[in-house]
Homo-oligomer: A and B are copies of this chain.
Amino acid sequence: MSRRRVTIDDVAELAGVSYQTVSRVINNRPDVRDATRERVQQVIDETGYRPSHIARSLVTARTATIGLVVPDISNPFFSAIARGAEQVASANKYIILLCNTGEDASREIEVLNMLHERYVDGVIVCGLRQKEAPIQTALSQFRAVVLVNRRFKEIRFPAVLVDDLLGGYLASQHLIKMGHTAIGFVAGPFTSYSGIKRLQGYEQALAEAGIEPEDDWVQHCLPTVEDGEKAAHLLLNKRPELSALLCYNDLVALGALRYCAASGRSVPEDIAIAGFDDIMLASVVSPALTTCHAPRKELGSMAVSMLLDCINDQEDKCDEIVVKPELVIRASTSATQFATAA
């Protein structure tokens, strides 16, 4: 599709200068005579020369590249984060290497090693599933790391977090207020930090209300519609007394919604359902989904901002940002309510 690449030497020769002078021109250094600069620039334009970022990176030990690790880019939660991240990155002349791990914790280490080999200046890791010890070595290789929705016990990494415990608490409290006492939790993956925190919030709210959840009121699943559907099925078969389901996220809630429709339960009359994240879906399904709103795009942009600060040794700005989730009450938990948000 293309001939040999034009290099800095080619340009130098054509312009009749040393390649050093070309380097000065492309880096906008002041110490070049205007006439020379113009001549060189003209050759650059004519040849379509583009400096090799690779060669430059080898010298400068900076790649202007950051890694973004997500469990599933097709999950709207993470694609919105990616969007926000990309915006801030490209505004700062950075570019993003995208890695998808599935729900495979060992893939997390693999892709981190790949990113390290590629000398990324930093990484943003979302929804980390791996346990603390094994992932730390992989993470500590990097000049800069920002975690999204995960915190470690031992070491504090810079992070952007949604207060998931609070979210789980608020949502559960809402269900209790609506009169429910038998509330199931369709939890996400065992390995999800967010999932654990949401579960804790759920347990806390129930405890405060004097409700003692049975062990099998909680059912884990993958964070997809399909798995949520299966999990809701299992849960409601085992525990027909449940009158409300709190779900790990909106995708899972959607699955639950679907199972209820399929099994002839009406929502919220027979069973109330609440989700997490407030993806666009949540406001348009029928019944519209009660959920905890997380500012997903902002999570991504904040994470990149912080990462760039870390890369540039602004260490004071690299700590933790905790965002409060907001409960959005819609029809899926309350027959008399309607969608409150677009």
Question: Is A2's CB under 8 angstroms from B74's CB?
Answer: no
- A233 contacts the other chain (CB 8 A): no
- A130 contacts the other chain (CB 8 A): no
Task: Bits for A143-178, please: 1 = Cβ < 8 Å to B, else 0.
Answer: 111000000000000000000000000000000000
Q: Complex: how many Å from CA A131 to CA B253?
A: 43
Q: Complex: how many Å from CA A74 to CA B76?
A: 7
Question: Is A225's CB under 8 angstroms from B280's CB?
Answer: yes
Question: Is A99's CB under 8 angstroms from B86's CB?
Answer: yes
Question: Is B99's CB under 8 angstroms from A143's CB?
Answer: no
Question: Is B99's CB under 8 angstroms from A137's CB?
Answer: no
Q: Complex: how many Å from CA A99 to CA B90?
A: 8
Q: Complex: how many Å from CA A54 to CA B48?
A: 23
- A34 contacts the other chain (CB 8 A): no
- A243 contacts the other chain (CB 8 A): no
- A97 contacts the other chain (CB 8 A): yes
> Count of chain A residues with Cβ under 8 Å from any Cβ of B?
58
Question: Is A97's CB under 8 angstroms from B96's CB?
Answer: yes
- A32 contacts the other chain (CB 8 A): no
Question: Is B63's CB under 8 angstroms from A73's CB?
Answer: no
Given A53-B117, A58-B54, A284-B254, A2–B141 Cβ distance below 8 Å?
yes
Question: Is B143's CB under 8 angstroms from A1's CB?
Answer: yes
Q: Complex: how many Å from CA A276 to CA B235?
A: 35
Question: Is B87's CB under 8 angstroms from A100's CB?
Answer: yes
Q: Which of A163-209 contact B (CB under 8 A)?
A: none
Residues of B within 8 A of A90 (CB): 99-100, 111
- A36 contacts the other chain (CB 8 A): no
Question: Is A100's CB under 8 angstroms from B86's CB?
Answer: yes
Q: Closest residue to A67 on the B side, CB-wise?
A: B95
In the complex, what's the smallest C-beta–C-beta distance from A191 to chain B, in angstroms? Answer: 20
Q: Complex: how many Å from CA A56 to CA B249?
A: 42
Residues of B within 8 A of A63 (CB): 54
Residues of B within 8 A of A137 (CB): 48
Please give the residue numbers on chain A whose beta carbons come within 8 Å of chain B beta carbons, in ascending order: 1-2, 48, 50-55, 57-58, 63, 65, 68, 72-74, 76, 79-80, 82-83, 86-87, 90, 95-100, 111, 113-114, 116-119, 137, 140-145, 225-226, 254, 257-258, 280-281, 284-286, 297, 310, 342
What are 10 of the A-B contact pairs (CB < 8 Å)?
A2-B141, A65-B118, A76-B76, A79-B79, A82-B98, A90-B100, A96-B97, A97-B97, A254-B284, A281-B284
